[in-house]
Amino acid sequence: MRGSPQQRQLSQSQTRRLNKVTLRSRTPNAGWIKLTLVVLTNSVYEFYDRSSAPGSRRFYRAVLLGGNRVDPGERFVWLPPGQFVMGSPTNEVDRQADEGPQRKVTLTRGFFLGRYQVTQAEYLSVVGSNPSNFTGDTNRPVEMVNWYDATNYCGKLTVAERLVGRLPAGWAYRLPTEAEFEYASRAGSTNRFCYGDDPDYTQLGNYAWYLANSGGGTHAVGGKLPNRWGLYDMSGNVWQWCSDWYGAYLGEFETDPQGADSGEARVLRGGSCYDSASRCRSALRYPYDPTQQRSLIGFRVVLAPGQ
């Protein structure tokens, strides 16, 4: 994009595959200046550069943030800040005691979340190995990864993306917090699942690979219906690591909770292809030794500014 300081418009062809961009400008023979960070919610986005002097000339560019090396709009979903009720009510069917007391959580910062669980192909491209038990299709989720393997992947991916200029300063890949995961899993629902209560678990097979329909193994990501926010396999296929230490819920209201200060177990969410339907509920949480690897544990990643 080039021209005098006036309305700038990103065409549909430029924006249809983007979730979020940084708009930058530079004057001739000068460096690039970051103007703003934009979440694209329409196919055409209008931007006014009010920082330049009348009559000056600037060049403009939109810098794509994050994603895999092909199309971050396909691989990530932008989740805006919001509030939700975390945990389950005391009368929820198959509820576990550690799912309460319920609390109102406010997330003050938006974030990108992987549309899919991290695949074996993605893990292999970053780490250089594939530890998974269920091989043969590298579009299956990676598994046999402990919490440290998952955080190591995030760190390596951050370094690689920064080296090629795909991340702005301060942005990084990481695991979701437990609150972020439940917020994303619910996608606005207050029921047992993102799509409703499903008391007899008759609809779960449309959304998740679990004990009743998986055949005892993982499946390629994205094979079931997404939730209303466009996220796949938030329940089932493989358990997913969260960043938090496992601990009791405290207080009726929390803002940007990060979990317990310390502990012996990290949090797993979502259930797996080996688990019963009740373990795939949005509120279900499971403590697990962060040093252990199993063939039903994987993860997905967040892309966000450092906190």
34-53 CB burial, b ≥16 within 10 A, e <16: ebeebebeeeebebebeebe
Write out pLDDT tens, residues 286-306: 999 999 999 999 999 999 998
Q: What is the pTM of this model?
A: 0.79
Q: pLDDT-based confidence at 74, cuts 50/70/90?
A: confident
**Amino acid (1-letter code) at residue 251:** G
Q: Is residue 97 within 8 Å of residue 87, measured between CB atoms?
A: no
pLDDT digits (tens, 9 = 90+) for 15-43: 333 344 445 555 555 566 666 666 555 55
| pLDDT value for 193 | 98
What separation, in Å, do the N-terminal and C-terminal C-alpha atoms of the chain show? 32
Considering the chain, what is the average pLDDT of its residues? 86
Q: 28-37, 131-140, 211-220, 261-270: which range is least confident on average?
A: 28-37
DSSP secondary structure of 69-128: SS-HHHHEEEE--EEEEES--TTSTT--GGG-S-EEEEE-S-EEEESSPPBHHHHHHHHS
Q: pLDDT-derived band of residue 106, with 50, 70 and 90 as boundaries? A: very high
Domain spans of the chain, in order of start: 2-64, 72-305
pLDDT of 204 reads 98
Nearest to 292 by CA among 145, 83, 191: 145
Span 155-209, pLDDT tens digits: 999 999 999 988 888 899 999 999 999 999 999 999 999 999 999 999 999 999 9
72-305 is classed in which CATH architecture? Answer: Alpha-Beta Complex (3.90)
